[in-house]
Structure 1
């Protein structure tokens, strides 16, 4: 079921519900749209007795779209959105999950709003903001990034061209091109316009490169006192697996689940394995 939720500070967030609304809440923050979380994973979590809600970040999907080229909010505001949504959906603390760049939002949300969350899952992310990486963390694979950025930008008003662009990028990154094409088509159909900045925010999450992500939070990770799961693809060349390993080391008691056949996306074939690990928190 799709709907929208309004936060106390006037932000509209597009959400989709799976499972029994009275069950414990698992909140899946989009990276940047909700479709970064596979249907199969949402359905597996719901079968496991959870109320699953995936949502679009600001400037993507059905959420508030203002100016993706110059966002007037910060990483901390996105973290506050997650906490407000969790509190608005359930009186009990929620299991929060973030994927990719939104794993950064999830880390900050859990640190800044500890009363709102009971567990944390971080998938394919790293413990520092976009931009220069810490010396002890592996950066984006240079050869992969060169191939990725060599793909010509599509005509953002052409659904088929956008889908083929996504498929080509998925092939470079080691993801399933067919799955990426299908997801891109769904994202395109949910996007409120075909302006390049809006499509980039939806299809590629480029708004994150413009966000104020200070101050650092990596040094605060040992403060986390909730069960945590770190999921990472062995073949992730965007945020190589060393980033997930660092998160698992620095969050007390965190479990690391490395998906041996995955890259940046969670394959549908791994949905049951990831859901089981999340349900065990």
Structure 2
């Protein structure tokens, strides 16, 4: 793997690549408030071993990328889409397979609507519709609502942040499987220690819905695979099903018992599905 700092859209972004640059490119887009570390090394290597050139990057306000003082981000949500475009530009990639999780899946949808000729295919994991027009979807679980409304964190304390994010990860994992507390704690601690300012991730929370209007998802032309967990507490399974219905020709893969995100227990089926999907497109 090779780490590289790039300059794009007025900010510095930390990126990393895996595999052979001559292989079909896959751009991994993480969710809000999450650095590229959440696309774990072993997951990226597994994708690359299957003949893909894998690129991951830190969003602005995460990891080693440019950060801004917490509380008032001087940029709109659309700049996160522009950052993804800038990463492809920096690597000289004219078009890539986009794999987005959670809010990263939303960014991938907006990317595909804005610049369809730069998207080979979409893989949308644990996400929901990024544009208006999909009504009647269920709200997050009671556990999710309770956590968001009652849990506090001292962002000036590294230990408080680690414990908060660990509790958040435990809640997102759902209640159908054992939670890997030790492994998740190690990941969260490493992410916090690596960040320029871990408190800056809060800026992404202020960007929810901060995006210009787009056309309907039915205008997406990229071949699309939707992957969703049956125990997702943030976006219950109906969100994945609705997304697959809205995007023409999209396929849906439900992961039994999976929560929100890319869990280690699901790496094998997710990697296999991405390889299969991108091979068919190629």
| TM-score between the two structures when normalised by the length of structure 2 | 0.86
Who is 1:106 aligned against? 108
Who is 1:261 aligned against? 257
What is the CA–CA distance in structure 2 between the aligned matches of 1:14 and 1:187, rounded to whole Å? 13
Who is 1:208 aligned against? 205
Please show how residues 163-174 of structure 1 align to structure 2 within 5 Å.
163-174=162-173
**How big is each residue's C-alpha offset from its partner over 1:160-182, in whole Å with a ceiling of 9 and x where there is no partner?**
33322222222233353333322
Q: CA deviation at 1:102?
A: 1.8
Give yes or no for contact 1:233–1:259 (8 Å, CA) kept in 2: yes
2:269 pairs with 1:273: yes
**How big is each residue's C-alpha offset from its partner over 1:191-245, in whole Å with a ceiling of 9 and x where there is no partner?**
1135x4x2xx1xxx5523335523344x521111111111111111111111111
What is the CA–CA distance in structure 2 between the aligned matches of 1:207 and 1:5, rounded to whole Å? 21
Q: CA deviation at 1:92?
A: 3.6
Distance change >3 Å, CA 99–CA 178, structure 1 → 2: same
Who is 2:161 aligned against? 162
Q: CA deviation at 1:184?
A: 1.1
Please show how residues 105-124 of structure 1 align to structure 2 within 5 Å.
105-124=107-126
Q: CA deviation at 1:252?
A: 1.1
Who is 2:39 aligned against? 37
Unaligned 5+ segments in structure 1 are none
What is the CA–CA distance in structure 1 between the aligned matches of 2:130 and 2:119, rounded to whole Å? 21
Distance change >3 Å, CA 208–CA 161, structure 1 → 2: closer
Q: CA deviation at 1:254?
A: 1.1
Give yes or no for contact 1:38–1:266 (8 Å, CA) kept in 2: no
2:78 pairs with 1:71: no
Q: CA deviation at 1:134?
A: 5.7
Distance change >3 Å, CA 33–CA 133, structure 1 → 2: farther
Between stretches 160-169 and 18-27, larger displacement belongs to 160-169
Who is 2:13 aligned against? 13
Give yes or no for contact 2:27–2:98 (8 Å, CA) kept in 1: yes
